[in-house]
Amino acid sequence: MTESAPGAAASAHATGLDHDEISFWRTYVFSTDHKMIARQYLFLGLFMALVGGFLAYAMRWQLAYPDTAVPGFGFVGPETYNVLVTMHGTTMVFFVAMPILLGAFGNFLIPLMIGARDMAFPRLNMLSFWTLAVASLILLSSFLVPGGAASAGWTGYAPLSARSIYTGVTWGLNLWILAHAVEFASFLMGGVNFLTTAITMRATGMSFFRLPLVIWQQLTAAILFLLSVGPLIAAAVMLLMDRIAGTSFFVASGGGDPLLWQHLFWFFGHPEVYVVLLPAVGLAAEVLPVFSRKPLFGYRWIIYSTIVVGILSFIVWAHHMFLSGMDPRLAMPFSITTILISVPFAILVFAMIATLWGGSIRFSVPMLFALGFVAMFIVGGLTGIFNGSAPANIQVHATYFIVGHFHYTLLSGLFFGGFAGIYFWFPKMFGRMMNETLGQVHFWTTMICFNATFFPMHLVGLGGMMRRIANPLQYEFLQSLQPINVFITISAIGLALSQLVFLVNVGWSLVAGRTAEQNPWQATTLEWATPSPPPHGNFDALPVVYRGPYEYSCPEVSEDWLPQDRVLVARSG
């Protein structure tokens, strides 16, 4: 019974490719096709990026020209500034990075790359997206309620977040918690779907060690998310009880412990960094061999490193809390595990650089962004070592050094990894090539403005500027740093404007871009073995896989690439 029923469902799915006309609503809105859902995630993420980016702009303006009206926004006082900080972080991490890197790319790539017709649970997939859409609406609606949106920081530290009177925010913060809860539900459903699909739906011959790396990274991210988010859900329930039912889980005066929130938050928060980062690493790792025309260096080592990162990420969380008042004896073990995690990441970066060695590199736009990711990520990783060792961390804790470091790791993943992915798979997603010239302009302006924005943050941080002050001029020792703050703001506006080039490129390419052929980059993985964009059901006949994903410059064929599904008569495989 249990064996036959899912099998029957799957074969019905395989044969009933329902090519008959589907209504507009079922095609574009309530679609169960993983490719359409991926595009929905992508556009939702891009829309929320505009919101989060606008908040960042208002924040930066306030820091450069304190207490002047922000053009297009208005006057920002300290309370509003706290709202900007909180909502910028929340929006960008949970409603931009996760929808784009996991929602869009995970959904689009997993079935195509493993040679499946769709996800294991297509309707659950649709539900995941619409749950996320509801969560986004809840988050946006929190701007409109009396008392304003949440202002306790994106980490929502207790007791600030545990009692309304401390921030003056009542429903805004409750809705903030609710938006998180709904978002978590969405990505839990998504994660279950990713894992089940990859475990049960792989094409014949697609063993785990023939999976493209980005799939491994997506799956690791999904497992990390599934196993780390639980304690934060529990913490969110407790926080909501503190705010609504008057309990004292996180309030010391009532017998609770504010530090408890930090432990539960960072037990999730640190794996979450890798939930966002690993898929970005995977996107870059897919692009590099294609444009180097070389097999990826150290395929299995990258997989092992990814797994080690995943395991270690559960035992590093207290490095966010060296100055929180926790038992100082914990600082040493958490320093050690944190420094330890740089070993697998060093292997990842080394493998990506070694892939380039001796390759015939094509500097197409996806490749530029992938290279940009590697370069920027090294900066983020190196500053991470500063933060990981407790003595150095104490110096830079809660300064702009942290803000700079954080943006070099996560934003480099989203910007450079994510854009590499978008430029690379845009032909497959939409059937049209993106404009190369505009892409080059986008890359170089982004690269310059990104560094001009975030590198100086390390400097003001070392100068002592705290990460969450609304007006740096109120401290005498920070006044000499103000020119740097103005420079950062101008660069940040430049960074925002460079993204307009991208939006123009997307809009133009969707309408008038050159029609993409099936395999425009001459790549080997399965998604390139089907038309661009793939039809409903992805493949005419499901592919059979004969080899690993990175067979470039293989001497056995005349072309310099050997697709995973090509039969070679002379070779047994």
Partner 1 sequence: MKTPAATQAMITRLPPGKIGVWWFLASEVMVFGGLIGTYILTRLGSAGWSAEAAHLSAPMAAINTFILLTSSMTMVMAFAAVEKNNDRGLRTFLLLTIFLGLAFLGIKAYEYSSHLRAGFMPSTGSFWSFYYTMTGLHALHVLAGIIVNLILFVMARGPLVNGHRVELAGLYWHFVDVVWIFLFPLLYLT
- Interface ranges with partner 1 (CB under 8 A): 1-3, 5-7, 10-11, 13-14, 116-117, 120-121, 124, 188, 191-193, 195-197, 199-206, 226-235, 237-238, 241, 245-249, 254-257, 260, 264, 267, 529, 539-544, 563, 565-567
Q: Which is nearer to partner 1, 164 or 248 (CB)?
A: 248
Q: Which is nearer to partner 1, 165 or 512 (CB)?
A: 165
Q: Which is nearer to partner 1, 241 or 378 (CB)?
A: 241
Do residues 524 and 475 lie in contact, with contact meaning Cβ atoms separated by under 8 Å? no
Q: Cα(372)–Cα(480) distance, rounded to whole angstroms?
A: 32
- Give least dist CB 153 to partner 1, A: 21
Do residues 526 and 565 lie in contact, with contact meaning Cβ atoms separated by under 8 Å? yes
C-alpha distances in Å from residue 372, one per residue of 332, 379, 417: 34, 11, 8
- Give least dist CB 264 to partner 1, A: 6
Q: Cα(307)–Cα(341) distance, rounded to whole angstroms?
A: 11
Q: Which is nearer to partner 1, 94 or 377 (CB)?
A: 94
- Give least dist CB 432 to partner 1, A: 25
User: φ and ψ at 515, to 5 degrees?
Assistant: -60, 135
The three-state secondary structure class of 555 is coil
Do residues 201 and 180 lie in contact, with contact meaning Cβ atoms separated by under 8 Å? no
Do residues 464 and 457 lie in contact, with contact meaning Cβ atoms separated by under 8 Å? no
Q: Cα(85)–Cα(483) distance, rounded to whole angstroms?
A: 21
- Give least dist CB 446 to partner 1, A: 36
For residue 95, what is the enclosing H or E element? none
Q: Cα(65)–Cα(84) distance, rounded to whole angstroms?
A: 16
State in Å, rounded, how far the first CA of the chain is from the last one.
36
- Give least dist CB 310 to partner 1, A: 14
User: φ and ψ at 561, to 5 degrees?
Assistant: -140, 150
Q: Which is nearer to partner 1, 26 or 163 (CB)?
A: 163
Q: Which is nearer to partner 1, 7 or 391 (CB)?
A: 7
At residue 531, what is the residue type? P
- Give least dist CB 482 to partner 1, A: 44
At residue 222, what is the residue type? A
Q: Which is nearer to partner 1, 11 or 27 (CB)?
A: 11
Q: Cα(475)–Cα(11) distance, rounded to whole angstroms?
A: 68
C-alpha distances in Å from residue 456, one per residue of 358, 460, 462: 34, 6, 10
Q: Cα(432)–Cα(409) distance, rounded to whole angstroms?
A: 31
- Give least dist CB 13 to partner 1, A: 7
- Give least dist CB 15 to partner 1, A: 9
Q: What is the number of alpha carbons within 13 Å of residue 430 lying toward its C-beta?
A: 20
Helix ranges, 93-170 (H): 105-114, 122-141, 164-167
- Give least dist CB 248 to partner 1, A: 6
Q: Residue 131 has which token pair?
A: 């749950």
Q: Which is nearer to partner 1, 174 or 292 (CB)?
A: 174
CA-wise closest residue to 472 among 58, 55, 60: 60
Q: Which is nearer to partner 1, 66 or 231 (CB)?
A: 231
- Give least dist CB 121 to partner 1, A: 6
- Give least dist CB 90 to partner 1, A: 21
Q: Which is nearer to partner 1, 120 or 341 (CB)?
A: 120
- Give least dist CB 94 to partner 1, A: 17
User: φ and ψ at 74, to 5 degrees?
Assistant: 115, -165
The three-state secondary structure class of 561 is strand
Q: Which is nearer to partner 1, 3 or 21 (CB)?
A: 3
CA-wise closest residue to 62 among 485, 459, 556: 485
Q: Which is nearer to partner 1, 10 or 554 (CB)?
A: 10
